[in-house]
């Protein structure tokens, strides 16, 4: 999460949604600084923030959940910088990588799992959800990942700033041409459409998908429990071993 007390903005970074790119820009060019940690959620900030959040322009990014899962699969498969196999990155050793992610990465790499096989292993009963659901109601503006640079320039104008440079994408993961990323409609309707329907009023250019209403009910029944679990994980979030934001260089996370 990035804050500027000078320009009165807060950027909420949703994982796998260009949070590194925007954070880097704000830190280097727009008087931003880290507050708490990179992917801290707004409800956690509200519990500790000493100022009035209503005085700040709060923004985040929406990215399609299927595109997020593709990016996550690629990282688990490619294991960049050995982050899923090197013990120093493990959460149990003070890092930020969960044991579940480490196990999935190993499973994908050792068995050459396809994207569809990964989906079927990862989603059996619970439909997809992520931090966007928790943070969207607090956001004054939601950037579209597919229109990132134009939307970022618009945000800067809203807070009274001019764009200093073109965006240089950080920590991006390219899709491989040899992998089939197609997702059957039956999987979309069960595991992704409930998230889309629930967040429909916050999603830029929303178009309603076919929804499996049994799984939508599951989404509704489990949403609060899953949000609580996500917020409890905020205390474990850290920039330790982050490849793009060294604590010594960037982290200034004292609440003001």
Q: Where are the domains of the chain?
A: 2-244
Q: Which two tokens stand for residue 230?
A: 């996500």
Which regions of the chain does DSSP assign to beta strands (E)? 2-4, 9-11, 33-34, 57-62, 141-144
Radius of gyration, alpha carbons of the chain: 18
* Distance from the first to the final alpha carbon of the chain: 14
For residues 231 and 134, is the Cβ–Cβ distance under 8 A? yes
Residue 47 CA to its chain's centroid (Å) = 21
For residues 54 and 80, is the Cβ–Cβ distance under 8 A? no
Q: Which two tokens stand for residue 186?
A: 């039956």
Residue in the structure block whose two tokens are 């970022």: 152
How many Å apart are CA 20 and CA 80, to the nearest integer? 15
* pLDDT for the residue numbered 84: 93
What is this structure's pTM?
Answer: 0.86
How many Å apart are CA 1 and CA 4, to the nearest integer? 10
Tell me which residue of 166, 238, 170 sits closest to 1, measured CA to CA.
238
Helix, strand, or coil (residue 33): strand
Angle between helices 99-111 and 65-78 (to 10 degrees): 70
pLDDT tens for the chain, residues 1 to 256:
999 999 999 999 999 999 999 999 999 999 999 988 778 999 999 988 888 999 999 999 999 999 999 999 999 999 988 989 999 888 888 777 889 899 999 999 999 999 999 999 988 889 999 999 999 999 999 999 999 999 999 999 999 999 988 887 665 555 666 788 999 999 999 999 999 999 999 999 998 899 999 999 999 999 999 999 999 887 766 665 555 555 445 444 443 3
């Amino acid at each position: 999460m990035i804050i500027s007390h000078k320009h009165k903005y807060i950027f909420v970074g949703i994982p796998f949604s260009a949070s590194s790119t925007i954070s880097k820009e704000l830190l280097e060019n727009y008087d931003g600084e880290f507050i708490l940690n990179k992917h801290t959620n707004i409800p956690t900030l509200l519990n500790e923030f000493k100022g009035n959040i209503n005085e700040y322009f709060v923004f985040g990014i929406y990215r399609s959940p299927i595109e997020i899962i593709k990016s996550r699969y690629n990282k688990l498969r490619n294991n960049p910088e050995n982050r899923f196999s090197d013990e120093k990155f493990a959460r149990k050793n003070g890092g930020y990588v969960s044991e579940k992610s480490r196990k999935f990465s190993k499973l994908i790499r050792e068995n050459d799992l396809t994207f569809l096989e990964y989906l079927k292993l990862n989603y059996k009963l619970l439909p997809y959800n992520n931090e966007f659901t928790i943070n969207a109601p607090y956001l004054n503006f939601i950037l579209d990942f597919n229109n990132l640079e134009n939307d970022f320039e618009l945000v800067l104008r809203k807070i009274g700033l001019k764009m200093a440079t073109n965006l240089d994408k950080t920590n991006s993961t390219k899709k491989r041409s040899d992998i089939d990323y197609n997702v059957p409609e039956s999987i979309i309707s069960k595991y992704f459409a409930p998230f889309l329907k629930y967040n429909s009023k916050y999603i830029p250019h929303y178009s309603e998908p076919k929804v499996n209403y049994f799984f939508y009910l599951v989404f509704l029944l489990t949403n609060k429990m899953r949000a609580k679990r996500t917020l409890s994980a905020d205390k474990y979030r850290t920039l330790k071993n982050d490849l793009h934001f060294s604590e010594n260089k960037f982290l200034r996370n004292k609440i003001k």
